[in-house]
Structures are given as structure tokens and as C-alpha cells.
């Protein structure tokens, strides 16, 4: 079931920018914001993602030295 969300105190400049982005995509402001909220909610937050990385790293009990990472990064460069 859909719910309504009200956000108070949005600066006019922010509202104008969002309205412009919605118009560029030929969407109403409501449709644009709903899609953006769905996109945000479909992905983990940065904090949750980092915690998952930390958990996987702790679970493997391995460590890659920074020098090895840099060598791998630079291997394809000329």
C-alpha cells in the first residue's frame, strides 16, 4: 500500500533543481521523486555496504598489501 511523505523546509533552489531534472526526463515532480526514492531504497547505504565489506574481509582472514594493489592497478598503464 502506498503512503504519503511530506518534506518540509526544502530550500526553493533545491525544489527548482528537482523540478528541472523532472522536466528534463518528461516526468512530473511526484513521479521523478518517487523513482529517485525507489532507486535510493533499492541500494544499501554507504555505511551498510562498508560494513558488509568489513565483514567479508574479517571472514577471509587475508590481507593484500598496498604494494600489490598498486602494482595490479599500474600493470596496464604505459
Geometric angle at alpha carbon 58, from 57 and 59, rounded to 5°: 90
Residues 32 and 25: beta-carbon distance below 8 Å: yes
As a dihedral over the C-alpha atoms of residue 18, residue 23, residue 29, residue 33, rounded to 10 degrees, the angle is: -60
What is the full per-residue pLDDT of the chain (78 aa) written as tens digits?
A: 889 999 999 999 999 999 999 999 999 999 999 999 999 999 999 999 999 998 988 888 888 889 999 999 999 776
Q: 15, 19, 41: which is closest to 31 by C-alpha?
A: 19
Amino acid at each position: 500500500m502506498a503512503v504519503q511523505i511530506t518534506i518540509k523546509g526544502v530550500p526553493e533552489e533545491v525544489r527548482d533543481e528537482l523540478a528541472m531534472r523532472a522536466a528534463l526526463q518528461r516526468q512530473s515532480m511526484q513521479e521523478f521523486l518517487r523513482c529517485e526514492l525507489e532507486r535510493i531504497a533499492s541500494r544499501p547505504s554507504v555505511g551498510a555496504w562498508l560494513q558488509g565489506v568489513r565483514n567479508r574481509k574479517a571472514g577471509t582472514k587475508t590481507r593484500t598489501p598496498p604494494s600489490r594493489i598498486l602494482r595490479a592497478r599500474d600493470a596496464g598503464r604505459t
